[in-house]
């Protein structure tokens, strides 16, 4: 008779926990101490691998959001959008964790990175591809409802589902701008702001890319509302 502690799932591992989560494989994805050129490689690999997982989740949710919006399912899309934004918060938290890496120790890690660069992060590339698609699907949803961005923000309670969605999109954009800022400050404190990265890019280039925004219209509408509020009596 199998007891509750006995594994019933297929696959390697002594317990169902290990089998379902594939912990053997997962925990072998980082260098073993005897293979490390520097002990902080574990910190560096953990942070980057964990970030790739959070971005994988965020993009998985975003794919569904795009499909849901195409079918007019706005509230379900809002729920998953919030989850995707929360996943980005973990990427930022992970990035800040690298503040525990001392500059000289990074140079020990860097000897192992080859030409590896964040430009080739699958997660960030996916975010870069998916975000404009999300923007287009949002615009199509507005058009189908026959509402302009201005109407949506001027009468937010008339279309609460679309309004919440729009705010989720701005959360997404804002989180990414905040991540780029955190990353730049991290880079400056670890390798300096006046040097060249592992793929030959001057760090200074990162500062010019800080303010990339995928949903510029959503930022611009705020300017319009502020101008309008200054010229007309404010109604709730
Ligand atoms: C000690 C920590 C880090 C250093 C010194 C560093 C350094 C750099 C440098 C110099 C670049 C410019 C491209 C190049 O030549 O490599 C870059 C780009 C990038 N890094 Fe990092 N990085 C660090 C941590 C991270 C972390 C933790 C992540 C992800 C969670 C990350 C993701 C990226 C991405 C996505 C880019 C491209 C940015 C863009 O497209 O604007 N980096 N990094």
- pLDDT (tens digit, 9 = 90+) per residue, 1-25? 789 989 999 999 999 999 999 999 9
List the residue whose alpha carbon is closest to atom 18 of ligand 1: 118
Q: Where are the domains of the chain?
A: 35-192+206-226
Ligand 1 atom at minimum distance from 206 CA: 41
pLDDT tens digit sequence for 61-102: 999 999 999 999 999 999 999 999 999 999 999 999 999 999
pLDDT tens digit sequence for 92-149: 999 999 999 999 999 999 999 999 999 999 999 999 999 999 999 999 999 999 999 9
* H or E stretch at 12: none
- Please provide the CATH number assigned to the domain covering 35-192+206-226: 1.20.58.480
Tokens of 106: 């990074």
Return the pLDDT at 234: 65
Ligand 1 atom at minimum distance from 95 CA: 27
β-bridge mates for residue 196, sequence order: 202
Write b or e for each residue in 183-222: b if 16 or more Cβ atoms lie within 10 A of its Cβ, otherwise e: bbebbeebbeeeeebeeeeebeebeeeeeeebbeebeebe
Out of 183, 204, 211, 213, give the residue to mutate to test ligand 1, the one with the largest number of ligand atoms within 8 Å of its CB.
Answer: 183
Length of the chain: 236
Establish whether residue 153 lines the binding site of ligand 1, counting it when its CB lies within 6 angstroms of any ligand atom: no
Measured in degrees and rounded to the nearest 5, phi and psi for residue 42 equal: -65, -45
Tokens of 232: 């007309």
Establish whether residue 49 lines the binding site of ligand 1, counting it when its CB lies within 6 angstroms of any ligand atom: no
SS (H, E, C) 102-147: CHHHHHHHHCCCCCCCHHHCHHHHHHHHHHHHHHHHHHHHHHHHCC
pTM score, whole prediction? 0.95
Establish whether residue 124 lines the binding site of ligand 1, counting it when its CB lies within 6 angstroms of any ligand atom: yes
3-state secondary structure of 214: coil
């Amino acid at each position: 008779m199998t007891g509750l502690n006995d594994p019933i799932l297929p696959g390697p591992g002594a317990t169902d926990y290990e089998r379902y989560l594939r912990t053997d494989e997962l925990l072998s994805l980082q260098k073993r101490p005897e293979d490390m050129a520097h002990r902080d490689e574990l910190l560096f690999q953990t942070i980057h691998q964990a970030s790739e997982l959070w971005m994988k989740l965020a993009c998985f949710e975003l794919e569904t959001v795009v499909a849901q919006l195409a079918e007019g399912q706005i509230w379900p899309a809002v729920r998953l959008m919030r989850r995707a934004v929360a996943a980005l918060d973990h990427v930022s938290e992970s990035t800040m964790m690298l503040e525990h890496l001392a500059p000289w120790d990074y140079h020990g890690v860097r000897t192992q990175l080859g030409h590896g660069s964040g430009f080739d992060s699958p997660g960030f590339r996916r975010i870069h591809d998916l975000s404009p698609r999300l923007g287009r699907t949002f615009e199509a949803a507005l058009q189908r409802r026959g509402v302009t961005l201005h109407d949506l923000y001027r009468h937010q309670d008339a279309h609460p589902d679309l309004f919440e969605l729009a705010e989720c999109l701005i959360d997404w954009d804002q989180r990414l701008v905040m991540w780029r800022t955190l990353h730049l400050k991290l880079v400056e404190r670890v390798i300096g702001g006046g040097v060249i990265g592992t793929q030959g890019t001057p760090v200074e280039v990162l500062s010019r890319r800080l303010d990339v925004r995928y949903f510029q219209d959503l930022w611009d509408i705020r300017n319009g509302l502020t101008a309008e509020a200054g010229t007309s009596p404010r109604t709730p």
